[in-house]
Amino acid sequence: MISMHTSPLSQPGSGDAGGMNVYVLNTARHLARQGIEVDVFTRATRPSQGEIVEVERNLRVINIVAGPYEGLSKEELPTQLAAFAGGIVQFVKCERARSGFEGYDLIHSHYWLSGQVGWLLRDLWEVPLVHTAHTLASVKNHHRSETDTPESEARRICEQQLVDNADVLVVNTSEETRDLVRHYDAEADKVAVIAPGTDTDLFTPGTARNTEQARRDLGLPMHSKVVAFVGRLQQFKGPQVLLRAVAALLERDPDRNLRVIICGGPSGAAATAEQYFDLARSLGISHRVRFLDPRPPQELVTIYQAADIVAVPSYNESFGLVAMEAQASGTPVVAARVGGLPVAVAEGETGLLVDGHDPEDWADALAQLLDDDDSRIRMGQDAVAHAANFSWSVTASKLAEIYSEVLTAGVPACRGREAAGLEP
């Protein structure tokens, strides 16, 4: 596997670490537990990491030095594609020399930067390339907020190359298949839809005592209604939508006993946590909002259990892992009707979907659940059963089936030359 721009071992919720980290780490873990040996290549970001991290049996993370450890933004990483690819080639060469390593059977790249490296290595090693985009430039630009910086045309061109050249494109939902066909002229029969999972052993519904303890730990009033946001602090994820919706709710009813948790760190060159602190202050709701740094999964459970509702106001999500984790923890979700969120959230059963990002519409949806205890509690109970249909072991098993199919099909030795009428 290749995950160049972010390590699966990084803390999700800030910088470039998010749902993709969760996806890569968990699929790799469960593939490894099914007997598939997995190496995940990522760019080294600090010298103390070491080159090889043994995560568990059959799973290693390989840190490749490509450019300076710190100070490179995601937008600058294309300058290190050659160095990163060269580092992988050198690592494999050394592995062959020291242990008789016979090479990889297949490459699975994640995100377009990794895909460019995977495309090169696929042709060098003559093995299949499976690619997962996670997000697409054309789709992000189509759904971006007015203040978001558009994705570059260079990225879109690179994604088009991967759509044209990968052996299989793995996506989370049928909506992503339609996006690939609509925006990139993908061949639908080259796309495999495999839903992500969630850790239902970790994310579990809390008892009344768990909720009480969770609120105590977080310093939240016991009898308040609590809405939580978990994710990176960037316009595309929509924390500003939630803050404005809460302000609208409190303007309608200043005595409403409502508290908000915002858990995450800034993401993007221009993003800062202060801009969200300032927004809450300017809206007059800073005394109702608690900002928390990103938390590991073991601590996120506490936030989900402490909340009455988890809000996911993103402008697009390929699936919505936060929504699934919240539901597994027994908390209903109010989410934007975009991307894979209508799959992740069973509308009217485990949460509500909102069209658009108008704060007044979000205030209406939040109020509908906050003021109807019976429906909210029922949705929380149904959410647990809904989340149980999604597991990482099933995701990994379906990925393994795709790997077997593409390995059986084989890779043409001289891809592209025959189509151009050239001699091998």
- Give the list of residues 6+ apart from residue 413 with CB closer than 8 angstroms, or none: 126, 424
Q: Is 290 annotated as a binding residue?
A: no
Dist CA 347 CA 82 (whole Å): 45
Q: Is 153 annotated as a binding residue?
A: no
Q: Is 216 annotated as a binding residue?
A: no
Q: Is 4 annotated as a binding residue?
A: no
Q: Is 206 annotated as a binding residue?
A: no
The burial class, CB within 10 Å (0-12 / 13-18 / 19+), for 422 is exposed
Q: Is 172 annotated as a binding residue?
A: no
Residue 58, Cα to own-chain centre: how many angstroms? 23
Q: Is 252 annotated as a binding residue?
A: no
The burial class, CB within 10 Å (0-12 / 13-18 / 19+), for 240 is buried
Q: Is 142 annotated as a binding residue?
A: no
Q: Is 307 annotated as a binding residue?
A: yes
Q: Is 87 annotated as a binding residue?
A: no
Dist CA 326 CA 300 (whole Å): 9
Q: Is 16 annotated as a binding residue?
A: yes
Q: Is 398 annotated as a binding residue?
A: no
Q: Is 234 annotated as a binding residue?
A: no
Dist CA 258 CA 248 (whole Å): 12
Sheet holding 59-64, edge to edge: 38-43, 59-64, 52-56
193-226 burial code (b ≥16 CB/10 A, e <16): ebbbbbbbeebbbbeeebbeebbeebebeeeebb
Q: Is 349 annotated as a binding residue?
A: no
Q: Is 93 annotated as a binding residue?
A: no
Q: Is 69 annotated as a binding residue?
A: no
Binding residues for 1D-myo-inositol 3-phosphate: 5, 16-21, 74, 111, 135, 155
Residues forming the annotated binding site? 5, 11-12, 16-21, 74, 111, 135, 155, 232, 237, 295, 304-305, 307, 317, 325, 331
Binding site for UDP-N-acetyl-alpha-D-glucosamine, residues?
11-12, 19, 232, 237, 295, 317, 325
Residues at the binding site for Mg(2+) are: 304-305, 307, 331
